[in-house]
Amino acid sequence: MNTRVLCYIEGKRRCFMLKKMLEIMVVAVIVAGVAGAYFKWMGALPISVVQTQKMSTFDASGEGKVVVIPDEAVVSLGVHEQGRNLKDVQQMVNKKMASLSKSLKDLGINEKDIKTTGYNYYTDWRDKSLYTAYANVSVVIKDMDKVSKVMDLVGTLGLDNVSGPTFGLSEELTIKSVKEARALAIAQAKTKAEELAGLAGMRLGRIVNVVEGEDRSPNYMVREALPITGGGTNDAKVATPIEAGSSEVVVNVTLAYETL
């Protein structure tokens, strides 16, 4: 092949390469222009980064218990009467319930703590002319010194539908007791975690999660009292003995630690 032919082929090759380079540059300029316009009008391109991290945790549980004395009592008081005349029976019930309400308020029981829970009447299924009527109230006693006095009304007023007293914690005392029990539970869980990790030769990092048990209701150890009537020749009055006992508030927590 002579020199002229070789030069011709080499020139064609250079022209082809030059043409490709020009095409690439044109495309790059177009892309850059489009991207610039997008950034100008739309802002930066959205970038989504998904990062996963596998973490093993060391869990330790603790339990906190607080024993408290109940500061509230609930008692149900009521009467029932029978008779041949429904109106007379109702009047007897109403009279006793009115006396009960007045006596409770005289003892300092707040009106909002006295709630009517039942009032009904019915005929005897064996004797349709015999009527029975009854009424009940639920009383919340927030002064524990008055529980005995309220129970004394059973005999004084001739009440015969009586239930309680049942002792419990007020909302304020419950919140305070749960807070104390929670602190004890967390302290116990931390101590247990440090001891177990040390024995196992593990290093603990920060606490990454705390789980508290759902049941934080107090465990009541209730003692109920029954009215005691007076006795002896002088018929001396004996107050109704009341013992509130104690209640136990329990909180359980689980701490999750990072392991190093």
What CATH class does 72-168 carry?
Answer: alpha beta
User: For 108, which DSSP code?
Assistant: T
CB 157 within 8 A of CB 149: no
Q: What pLDDT was estimated at residue 161? A: 86
Radius of gyration of the chain (CA): 42
User: How many alpha carbons lie under 13 Å from residue 219 in its C-beta half-sphere?
Assistant: 10
Q: What pLDDT was estimated at residue 7? A: 45
d(CA 161, CA 79): 5
CA dihedral 159, 163, 167, 170 (to 10 degrees): -80
Angle between helices 86-106 and 147-157 (to 10 degrees): 150
Q: What pLDDT was estimated at residue 121? A: 87
Q: What pLDDT was estimated at residue 208? A: 94
pTM of the model: 0.63
User: Residue 147: how many CB atoms within 10 A of its CB?
Assistant: 22
Q: What pLDDT was estimated at residue 20? A: 61
User: How do the pLDDT tens digits run along the chain, 260 residues long?
Assistant: 554 544 445 555 565 565 666 566 644 545 455 445 444 545 544 444 444 454 678 999 999 999 999 999 999 999 999 999 999 999 999 999 999 999 999 999 999 999 999 999 888 888 888 999 999 999 999 999 999 999 999 989 999 889 989 999 999 999 999 999 999 999 999 999 999 999 999 999 999 999 998 655 565 544 444 443 433 444 445 666 777 788 899 999 999 999 88
Kind plus residue range of the DSSP H or E element containing 16: helix 3-42
Question: Taking the alpha carbons of 118, 121, 125, 126 in that order, is the dihedral positive or negative?
Answer: positive
d(CA 154, CA 149): 10
CATH topology of domain 57-68+172-259: Translation Initiation Factor IF3 (3.30.110)
Domain range summary for the chain, segments of one domain joined by +: 1-45, 57-68+172-259, 72-168
